[in-house]
Amino acid sequence: MYCNQRPEKPGVKKGMLEKINNMARANSLWVTAYGTGCGAIELRPLGTSRFDMERFGIAMRPTPRQADVLIISGYLATKTLKRVIRVYEQIQDPKYIIALGSCTINGGMYFDSYNTLNVLDKYLPVDVYVMGCMPRPEAVIDGFSLLMQKIKDGRAQGWKHYKENLDYYRENQKKIITDWDLPDYNW
Amino acid sequence: MIDKTKKELEIRFPLLKLVREMHNYLHVEVEKASAMDAILMAKTSLGFKTLQLISSVDRMEENLFQMTWILENYNNETTLLISARYPRENCIVPSLSDIWPAASAFEREIFEMFGISFPGNPREGEDFLLEGWKDIPPMRRDFLTEEYSMKLYGERQPREHLDPRQYIGDMVGEWNTPMGQKRKEEK
């Protein structure tokens, strides 16, 4: 069962209540346990006692329905992009994307590969990029703190941009996924 | 150990070419008509009961594909490599999937990456790694990877300014702290 309607345009919310909501959102970032590429290896130490991401309120969740953050950890093949779109659209609003590694920024060492995409933000709205190949867990935590700051300031609006410019993103996605068999809207 | 294998193969296939020999390793090249006979003989009478890998090399200058079957004998820990050369246009190689069911996966991958057809494989033509591929097979050497990647995925445009404050603006890390805010206001 999928929703077969276009997403509603999200309204602009301001005021004290929204600030309190944003504060709560920033301090309980729940991450979908989904890894693409080699960056998934760097995320495992984040949960251990040395780096301990739970002191920032970051926790791993088993399904996208319970999560707010999707981490694109490393190079993304076109075959994987199909699954990532499916996962991203199933996350409840508000949702954020953190992209790790130089592969998501400009292709990295796979810039001339026939199967990995070079510029991620043509296909999905990215809130925070973390550079490195691969970034160390400290750098990932720095990226998370930047995302928290953006949420508190009300600047992490990637999910709104995705809903408002859905046609642009769909056009780019369908250009590289030649056997498109997903439902049009799967939230 | 490997001497006995070599002797028996030389008696049966007089046109056999020796590529490399070590104390537990033998690489031979046979005519393409007798490749299947050599593999069957290695399995039934020489004890090489395990298929490790099927690989293919594109020899574009000679207009050939070199196929290699890697067999293993676990009783005396010896490895046998049997190679054969096939013409490059409309290349057809007999399938081994009724002898070793595991060969089916290797043959599907080679079909996808090189376009070599294996009649007799029950799952031939199913998607293995690439979904919806429409160009010429990507591991052929006349496939231009970089050109394909630039055409389909594009490149990120380089920065116009080299000063990070020009494009990151408020997101520079040092300004996110309370002390940084004070310093920013002073500027």
Output the pTM of the full model. Answer: 0.83
Q: Is B60 on the interface with A (CB under 8 A)?
A: no
Contact in structure between B32 and B64 (CB atoms under 8 Å): no
Closest chain B residue to A76 measured between Cα atoms? Answer: B153
Task: Assess if residue A151 is contained within a domain.
Answer: yes
Collect all residues with Cβ–Cβ distance below 8 Å to B126 and sequence separation of at least 6.
B108
For residue A185, name the pLDDT band (cuts at 50, 70, 90).
confident
Residues of chain B positioned with their CB less than 8 A from the CB of A149: 176
Task: Assess if residue A93 is contained within a domain.
Answer: yes
pLDDT on residue B66: 95
Domain count, chain A: 1
For domain B2-156, the CATH class is: alpha beta
Task: Assess if residue A164 is contained within a domain.
Answer: yes
CATH of the domain at A125: 3.40.50.12280
pLDDT on residue B168: 64
Pick the closest to residue B63 from B136, B140, B139, B117 (CA basis).
Answer: B140
Phi, psi of A174 (to 5 degrees): -70, -20
pLDDT on residue A181: 83
Residues of chain A positioned with their CB less than 8 A from the CB of B130: 79, 115
pLDDT mean across residues, chain A: 89
The complex's ipTM works out to 0.84
Residues of chain A positioned with their CB less than 8 A from the CB of B132: 177-179
Task: Assess if residue A77 is contained within a domain.
Answer: yes
Hey, what are B167's tokens? 């494009």
Task: Assess if residue A5 is contained within a domain.
Answer: no
Task: Calculate mean pLDDT across residues B10-35.
Answer: 90
List the domain range (segments joined by +) for residue A148.
29-176
pLDDT on residue A81: 92
